Structures are given as structure tokens and as C-alpha cells.
Chain A
Amino acid sequence: MISIFPNLLSGAVITLQLLVSSMFFGLIIGLIFAILRINKNPIINKFAYGYSYFFRGTPLLVQLYLIYYGLANIEFLRNSFFWLIIKEPYWCAIIAFSLNTGAYTSEILRSAFQTIKKGYIEAAQSLGVTKKITFYRIQLPIAIKQSLPAYGNEIILMLKGTSLASVITIMDLMGEARKVNVLTFKPFEAFITAGIIYLFITFIIHNIIKYLEKKYGFQT
């Protein structure tokens, strides 16, 4: 059990890298699509809804395969600069995870935007604050604070999602556990140790979010 620990830890580093980068890109995508979702233009609105519907309605594995195996099928992508990115399983995984978590994040932020009390916006308007400043200084900070608990859940879901990277040959924590299982024929040791590491990461994320909620949480 001790001998496999270093292997699994090196996998855990990859898992954390995948998690951090896909949460980063996912947050940007989510924010953009949340703003598009509250747009009054029906076409923009429908487009953003379609995006989130597709990525929330299909399994992450399908999205991962579509990007990893599917995109390589398109001729002009293969001849373009993008091929440098999509030929690497690592980047494919990050693209798939970012788009997936982006869809969930956009829903979380959208519902946060929509539950902001009208009074705040009206107050800003009556004080003559411009629309742009109202958005950046009032709506956005409140929405982010309100969505902290739901976003914490999303981070943990994504942590579990990164384990899928192992099926496209990335040696993350799950991939290392699979390798140990194949080499030693000890499935319980390999997977239970990996499970404990996953639980430990979940525990840390949970506590960070709890701390942030306490510090920055929004009380109405």
C-alpha cells in the first residue's frame, strides 16, 4: 500500500492541474454565457440556452469522446493550427471539462443574477449610477457571493469528472490507480487508496468553500 503511494500522488498532481485549469476556463465561459442568458435578445438567449442544455443533457464521457476522437475527423481542423491543441489528450480533456463546467456555472450564475433583489438595481438607477457600473459593482459581486455554495458543489462534481480523463490515456489519479491494478492485480488496494486521496481533496475543497462562504457570504 505504501509502495504505490508515490505513483498515485503524481497522478493526483495531474488531477489537480486538470481541475484548476478547467475550473478557470469554465468560470470565464460560464460568466459569458450567464450574461448572454439574461440578455433580452431572443436569439442570443436561445443560443446560450442551447449551449447549456446540450452540455447538461449529455454525459461528460460523450463530450470528451466527441472532442478527442470526433474533432480529429474534421479535415480542415486537422490542417489548421488547432491540430496542435486537439491532438493532445491533455488539452482535449481540458476543453471538454471547461465546456461542461461552463454550462453548469452559467446556470448557477444566471439563477444568482435573477434572484438579486430588484430594489438594489432600482436604487442604483435612482442614484444615477450608469448601467455598466451597476453591473460591475452591484450585480456581479452579489451574484458571485450568492452562488458560492452551488459553485462549491460544482467544483467537487468537476473533481469527480476529471477521473474520466483516464479513459483517454491521461495518467491522472484514476489512470495511475488503473495502472497499479493492472500491474499488481490488487484492485482493492489501488482503488481504495485512490478513493481516499479523492476524498481528501474533496474535504479540502469543501472546507475552503465553507471558509469563503463565512467570510464573503451574502446575507440579505
Chain B
Amino acid sequence: MELLSFGDTGWGDELFFATLMTIAVSIAAMLIGFLFALIFTPLKLSKNKSLNILGNCYTTIIRGVPELLVIYLLFFGGTGAAMYVASIFGYDGYIEINAFITGALAIGIISGAYSTEVFRGAILSIDKGQFEASKVLGINKSIQFYKIILPQMLRLSIPNLSNVWQITLKDTSLISVTGLVEIMRQSYIAAGSTRDPLFFYSVAAVLYLILTFLSMKLINKLELKYSKGY
């Protein structure tokens, strides 16, 4: 227990801040994922063939390759790409992209693919009559989307989004390979310097379990709130 005390002698405070980092990266990744989902869901539902293929490519490729690959590609490739772009503008120095941004972007791209599928499923499960009714009433497309489709879509997708959130939360552990100090990285450092990997990785496992447990409780509450009246 002494190993977990706060202050200079223990790893308690380090692990606490690492947990906060994990939560921050997960939330950032989830939001970036929503952004991607908002772009690609309409593409996947579009009647235009080429837009459709573009949307399908995104979800198929991202869900078909390992998460680690996306992270490495962004981490190693991102720096090179940024330096290449900078060299066009005459800057030849070394550019290092922040590990938090790369990590959140990589995990965000992955969670975006899952969110896209969730939103697509939710929109498809909305009764066709609703679209027809709003058309008959002369409601224009954007109001139809914001006032009728979006609220129902969000309600229908909460249970599946909670799965996406769990996946995202667990995927953030992979960013540790790029050096961002979150739970996994901090445990790795602590395990290395105390030579007690069993203890610290168990602590990491417990921290992840607490995070998943708490977020489940929170999401269940949300679900109850938004399914009122159904």
C-alpha cells in the first residue's frame, strides 16, 4: 500500500493524474469520433454511388486494421508528413507533434468508424412514416433533421454508443506505446522503477475496471433520462 501513497515516495498521485489523462484522451477521442461520424454517416446513407463508396471505405478499412496500426501510422507518419509540408514552406527544423493530439486523433478516427455505424443503424431504424409525415407537413429538410430525426437518432444510439465508449476507453491504453503518460504508461514506468510489475499492472486493471464501471452507471442514467415517455 505504501507504493500507492501520494507524495514523493508513492505512485498514488502519479497514477491519479494518469487516470485523469486517460479520461481526457478518451473524451477528446470520442468527440473527434463524433465529428468523423457526422461527416461519414450522411455519406454512408447517401444515394450517390461514389459518396457511398467513400463512406464505406472509411468504416471498412478502419474496422479491418488493428488499432495499433492507425496509431503508429499517425505517430510515425504524422511527424514526417508535417515536416514535409513545413519544408515546402521553407522550414527544415524538426517538428514534433504533441502525443496527446496524435493519440486523441488516432483513437478518434477509430471510434468515429464505430460511431458512424451506430448512427447509421439508428437513422435506419427510425420509422419511414416520420420522414413522409414531415414531408407532407411541408417541413424543410434541415428542420426535419434537427427537430425530428436527430433527437430520435440520439435516443436510439445511446445503448450502442455506450459500447463505443467502452471500446474507446480501452483503446486509449494503446497510446501508451507513443509515450503519452496515461494509466498504462504510468504503470509501465512505476513497474520498471520498483520492479513490481504484478502489483502495478493489477492496479492499472483495477483503475480501468473502475472507469468502465462508473461510466456504465452514468450511461444507464442517461439512457433512463432520454427514454422517458417510451
> Residues on A close to B: CB < 8 A?
53-54, 57-63, 65-66, 69-74, 156, 159-164, 166-167, 174, 177-178, 181, 187-188, 191-192, 194-195, 198-199, 202-203
Given contacts A57-B208, A62-B205, A178-B72, contact A187 B80 (CB under 8 A): yes
B contact residues around A167 at 8 Å (CB): 68, 177
Q: B71-96: which residues lie under 8 A (CB-CB) from chain A?
A: 72-73, 76-77, 80
Given contacts A57-B213, A58-B209, contact A70 B198 (CB under 8 A): yes
Q: Which 9 A-B pairs have the closest CB atoms?
A: A163-B66, A69-B197, A187-B76, A59-B173, A70-B198, A73-B198, A202-B64, A59-B170, A160-B66
From A186, which residue of chain B is reached at the shortest CB distance? B80
Specify which of A54, A70, A74, A198 is in contact with B69 (CB 8 Å cutoff).
A198
From A156, which residue of chain B is reached at the shortest CB distance? B64
A11 to nearest B CB, angstroms? Answer: 12
Is B174 in the interface zone, CB < 8 Å from A?
A: yes
Does more than half of chain A's interface fall in helix, strand or loop, or is it mixed? helix
Is B191 in the interface zone, CB < 8 Å from A?
A: yes
Contact yes or no, A66 B64, CB < 8 A = no
Given contacts A62-B204, A65-B201, A69-B197, contact A163 B69 (CB under 8 A): yes
B contact residues around A60 at 8 Å (CB): 170
A contact residues around B176 at 8 Å (CB): 61
Cα–Cα, bound, A60→B66 (Å) = 13
Interface centre among A53, A164, A203 (most CB of B within 10 A): A164
From A53, which residue of chain B is reached at the shortest CB distance? B209
Is B133 in the interface zone, CB < 8 Å from A?
A: no
Cα–Cα, bound, A156→B197 (Å) = 30
A contact residues around B173 at 8 Å (CB): 59, 61-62
Q: A59-B208, A198-B64 are in contact. List 9 more A-B contacts (CB 8 A).
A: A57-B208, A57-B212, A58-B212, A65-B188, A66-B202, A69-B191, A69-B201, A163-B67, A199-B60
Contact yes or no, A174 B208, CB < 8 A = no
Contact yes or no, A59 B171, CB < 8 A = yes
Contact yes or no, A65 B197, CB < 8 A = yes
From A65, which residue of chain B is reached at the shortest CB distance? B201
Specify which of B77, B191, B205 is in contact with A58 (CB 8 Å cutoff).
B205
